[in-house]
Amino acid sequence: MKRNLADASLLGHLLVCAPKLTTLHYDFYLSDDEQRFELGSLKDALVGIKDTLQHLVIYFAPNSNRSPVVKAHSRLGSLKLFECLRSLEIAPEILFGTKQEGDTTDLRYLVPDALERLVFRGDFELPGYENYRWPSSEISRALEEWRDVAPNNTRVAKLDSRLD
């Protein structure tokens, strides 16, 4: 679902019709009228496909220059229940929460053990949120620790060059 305005609630209704979906590319743009987004609602929408989802890409951006209200303590949080998930592309701020509210960057508690590929994207470009971004040094450390505990060193971890 690229470049869409389907919020998490609508996405949840759509996913009910696709209970065996294996790949989801979710590009969400906030409309000018709706500037509120709750990442916990997005996770609720995805739970219906947790047993089949293998590849997930999440992109999140405002559709205007106004800064959206990302609900306090909003983060996607742990995806441990998504046991089929093999590939994840996501901004660190979406998975961990913003820097000032994030509890942990320990990926062992946030992604399924079977995850093979993790890309942290640098596209969380929200006006006014610059001070809440995770430093690339912390993200790199989290990726290295996650990769180091993999059986047979089979995990691929990437840091988008836009994260600096």
Output the pTM of the full model. 0.82
Neighbours of 29 (CB within 10 A): 16
Whole-angstrom distance, CA of residue 11 vs CA of residue 42: 8
Amino acid letter for position 57: V
Whole-angstrom distance, CA of residue 75 vs CA of residue 85: 18
Q: Which residues contact 151 (CB under 8 A, 6 or more apart)?
A: none
Give 67-113 pLDDT, tens digit per residue: 554 544 467 888 999 999 999 998 887 888 777 655 567 888 899 98
Whole-angstrom distance, CA of residue 71 vs CA of residue 41: 11
Kindly list the domain boundaries of the chain, sorted by start residue. Answer: 8-159
Residue 164, pLDDT above cutoff 60: no
